[in-house]
């Protein structure tokens, strides 16, 4: 298998230590340069500082990388033609030897291959507004249904239909937990207007649910919804109007498929004069702290291994 696990990460996994996966679409398609590289490196530092080992996941020259060096992060951020890689894209990217930035779905798949159970990101993809017509439903959701990795995020952006996203997750049997909140957060804001099924109050409680999910052999992932810190949250009126404008523009330009999310993210950055980017960076860092704590708690529990860990190539 074209899987390269960075020695530091392989060693931590072998010893049953806490490892936290990180995605790379957020680097290549989610944030502008150089904030993308600065954030990716800062987030790794936060995880290390908390006592866990970070593993940023991407595909470089057709090989699935679990753990990138700072040079590799820089390379990915600067390279032209990096493919946004979700489940359907993976075999093409590895077969052709291209560079791929993994989405939540792509990162979950490779994290699971390596035996990593906790993954930190900003926001997950979801059911897009108007999906009744367009069928635009992120492959992140079907991945959460099948792959046993816990995803710490700040909910889903209201560029999506959050009500339908939660319905879809329920149908697919994805466990959704609110971290110190009983409201599902909407990325830039702390309350999407929808409740979470369960509010948990500590990393230990979350880890216990993850461990139990593994013991029950249920398979499939978990969403841990961690709201943006109050001081970084954007006013609903400001971000709501910016999202409406960005979606209208995407529709007018006929943007579809995998281009939709990156287009909306970059337009939102422009419309809010960089405030959405600041919020994005703050919430990812906060998620990193919480994700590391959960991974540390999980490492203290006896959890059956759902996959054979292919630690050798
Ligand atoms: N939402 C964000 N920032 C992101 C993404 C989503 O707030 O960077 C990225 C993630 O990698 C996610 C992907 O997995 O977009 C979803 O894309 P799509 O909707 O095309 O499945
Ligand atoms: Mn889509």
- Report CA(164)–ligand 1 centroid distance (Å): 17
Catalytic option among 23, 44, 143, 148: 23
Write down the pLDDT at residue 307. Answer: 54
User: Contact 258/250 with Cβ under 8 angstroms?
Assistant: no
Q: What SS3 class is residue 20?
A: strand
Give me the domains of the chain, ranges plus CATH numbers.
3-305 (3.40.1790.10)
Q: Is 23 a catalytic residue?
A: yes
- What value does the mean pLDDT take over residues 58-87? 97
Write down the pLDDT at residue 308. Answer: 47
CB distance 258 to ligand 1 below 6 Å: yes
CA distance 162 to 57: 27
CB burial of residue 3 (10 Å; 0-12, 13-18, 19+): middle
Write down the pLDDT at residue 312. Answer: 39
User: Contact 152/117 with Cβ under 8 angstroms?
Assistant: no
- Residue 136 CA, closest ligand 1 atom number: 19
- Residue 26 CA, closest ligand 1 atom number: 8
Catalytic option among 65, 157, 213, 285: 157
- Report CA(119)–ligand 2 centroid distance (Å): 21
What mean pLDDT, rounded, does the chain reach? 95
- Residue 84 CA, closest ligand 1 atom number: 11
- Which residue out of 30, 106, 247 has the highest number of ligand 1 atoms within 8 Å of its CB and is therefore the one to mutate? 30
CA distance 186 to 170: 17
Q: Is the pLDDT of residue 181 over 60?
A: yes
Q: How confident is the model at residue 310 (pLDDT cuts 50, 70, 90)?
A: very low
What are the residues whose beta carbons fall under 8 Å from the beta carbon of 50, sequence distance 6 or more?
288, 289, 292, 293, 296
Q: Is the pLDDT of residue 256 over 50?
A: yes
Q: Is 157 a catalytic residue?
A: yes
pLDDT in tens, 76-113: 999 999 999 999 999 999 999 999 999 999 999 999 99
CA 185-85-307 angle, to 5 degrees, is 80
pLDDT in tens, 121-149: 999 999 999 999 999 999 999 999 999 99
- Which residue out of 261, 263, 266, 277 has the highest number of ligand 1 atoms within 8 Å of its CB and is therefore the one to mutate? 261
- What value does the mean pLDDT take over residues 274-297? 97
- What value does the mean pLDDT take over residues 288-292? 99
CB distance 192 to ligand 1 below 6 Å: no
- Using the CB atoms, write b or e for 138-162: b if 16+ within 10 Å: bbbbbbbbbbbbbbbbbbbbbbbbb
């Amino acid at each position: 298998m074209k899987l390269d696990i960075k020695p530091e990460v392989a060693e931590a996994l072998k010893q049953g230590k806490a490892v936290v996966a990180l995605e790379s679409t957020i680097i290549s398609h989610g944030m502008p340069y150089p904030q993308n590289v600065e954030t990716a490196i800062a987030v790794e530092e936060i995880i290390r500082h908390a006592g866990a080992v970070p593993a940023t996941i991407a595909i470089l020259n057709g090989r699935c990388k679990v753990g990138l060096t700072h040079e590799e992060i820089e390379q990915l951020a600067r390279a032209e033609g990096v493919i946004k890689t979700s489940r359907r894209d993976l075999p093409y990217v590895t077969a052709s030897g291209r560079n791929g930035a993994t989405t939540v779905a792509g990162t979950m798949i490779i994290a699971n291959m390596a035996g990593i159970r906790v993954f930190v990101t900003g926001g997950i993809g979801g059911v897009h507004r108007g999906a009744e017509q367009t069928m635009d439903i992120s492959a992140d959701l079907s991945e959460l249904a099948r792959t046993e990795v816990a995803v710490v995020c700040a909910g889903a952006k209201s560029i999506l239909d959050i009500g339908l996203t939660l319905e879809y997750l329920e149908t697919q049997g994805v466990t959704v937990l609110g971290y110190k909140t009983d409201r599902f957060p909407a990325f830039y804001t702390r309350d999407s207007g929808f409740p979470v099924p369960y509010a948990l109050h500590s990393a230990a409680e979350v880890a216990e649910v993850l461990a139990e999910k593994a013991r029950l052999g249920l398979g499939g992932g978990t969403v841990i919804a961690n709201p943006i810190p109050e001081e970084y949250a954007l006013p609903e009126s400001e971000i709501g109007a910016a999202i409406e404008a960005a979606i209208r523009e995407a529709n007018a330009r006929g943007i579809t498929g995998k281009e939709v999310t990156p287009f909306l993210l970059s337009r939102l950055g422009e419309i809010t004069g960089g405030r959405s980017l600041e919020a994005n960076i703050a919430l990812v860092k906060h998620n990193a702290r919480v994700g590391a704590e959960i991974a540390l708690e999980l490492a203290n529990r006896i959890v059956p291994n759902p996959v054979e860990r292919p630690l050798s190539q």
